[in-house]
Structure 1
Amino acid sequence: MSQPASPLSEQEQQQLVRRIGRAMLPAFPAGWQRVRAEYRAAGRHIEVDLAFTGPDGQWRQVRPPMDVVQLFGQLRAGMYTSERGTWLSAVYELEAPAAFAVDFNAEDEPRWRNPPPLIGFQDELRTFPRADERIPDWLRQRVGLPPRVEPVAPGELRTAHVYDGRDEAGRPVVHRPAVDAQLRDALLAYLEAAPVVLAARNLDVDEFAPGEQDVPLNFRTDGTWIWAGAVPHYLRKHGLPPEPALVRHIRDREFRPAEVDEATRDRAVALITGA
């Protein structure tokens, strides 16, 4: 699936909405009174329900015409924005002779007939990426992203996530932009220059190289962030970048670590150990 080349204007969206309504009509017998279409999607996973009432007021399901399915998909792609992504479900209601209303939902999880597999939610964020703060908690959980982190007040410490979650088999999941070699070296220099505040003598298992046990069991802090020894280790060995917020922080500091006083080191240890 590819990201839409250009968004639809408001007028083009309205025209497409009317085309969807016209495309539904051949599916209904004469005398229909009300129509309800519900479209739900996550990546390649698509569900469409279409029903109508006649003079008796009873709802009857019908098979949605393929044109309706395709036009809904065009509308969803055309309403995409880089900030909020696009909607995940839409409800389109018609009332004879010509009244209609459409409701789009980009935040709440659709009421799936059959919940999509993990790859469906991953495809959704690859095809329609959105700002991190606009990814709802349920979708973050579905794709294995860590919970959304609220801004840290001055003086508070934030702990970096080594990776972004785990898939259904328990393997680490990563959704981060790659870094070039020059940036990687600058990040490594910063990450490994910060003072160690807690360390163990043994080494941990490399989760990206089964059977290898070479991951440092230590923690460092620069007075704002705390990170495990696995963060620079995986960056050096596997090219896995730190989480984007930590990368931005390091760049904002122009790759120059600050001095960390003893009180801040003690707070970091207390946060790591849960004391």
Structure 2
Amino acid sequence: MLSDPRPLGPEEQNDLLLQITLLLSHSLPEGWQEVAVSYRALGSHSEMLGQIQRMGQRPSSHEPPPDLAKRFQRLRAGMYRPGVGTWFTATYRLTSSSGYSVAYDQDNEPAWVSAPPESARDEELRMFPRDAQHIPEWWGRPPGGGAPDEAARAPAGRGAGAPTGPPSTPASAPAHGQAHRPTGATVSIAKPYDGTQPDGTPIFQRPPVPPEARDAVVRYLADAPIILSARSFSEDLLAPGRPANVPLTYHTDGTWIWPGSVGYYLRAHGAPPQPELVAHIRDNGFRLPALPENVETAALENLYRYFQSGDES
């Protein structure tokens, strides 16, 4: 659930960013080249602004879909570090040619359009306690009384400061094993694992894939059309010391949709996908079916409805 207060691991953070990408892309007009969204929060006070660049036109304001705010709120809570706090501003940028990027600022005052009340600082400390050395200097000024730099002022900028990064001790997660079938849809959406241990390690409570079938299942999962991609990689949660090489993608064969991490964890660690998905692949003879031209568009629509429903956890 989006209101789940538990810390988020790197893969979960990236999954929320993929959701933001898909939800935002559905709101964009023809001819867009770049869009930026700035989400700012202190306590329960928040605001979200967008800016869009269309081909041959000057940048103009763009109203982001309201559902984005819930994802940013979840990111902000999930990226909290005890005693250190969490970010105040997230600046997200999506371009038509190179995908998305995001920057977080946990030090500088947001460039408020509507300044928060004085009580927001106390509320922030109750929600996200900080040690004294991590309380920013601008908290000694009235809200909105600072002079934020130009990068923080413009939604299209990358923002200042460094990302807070993933939390150090992720809490246990609710079960992830049940395939989700969006209402009125004809596809099932697979989960990469069944939950997490207190240290964030994924839990797989599934029957293993027979050794003689593993390579064929891996090929099927990896070769299926990609319908959504972050053009980057996430940390291997079963081998944290490795370079980030878990693909941040979603694939489909027209009947199922699954994240790229499903095939990765099977190939790298033998961690099995959901048995229903494995049975489906076996029933297909381990060969991808011929897909109609509109299958990727239809799958994206299913994924879009799935993210909108808020059932992705």
**TM-score under structure 1 length normalisation:** 0.49
Greater RCO (CA < 8 Å, at least 6 residues apart): 2
**TM-score under structure 2 length normalisation:** 0.43
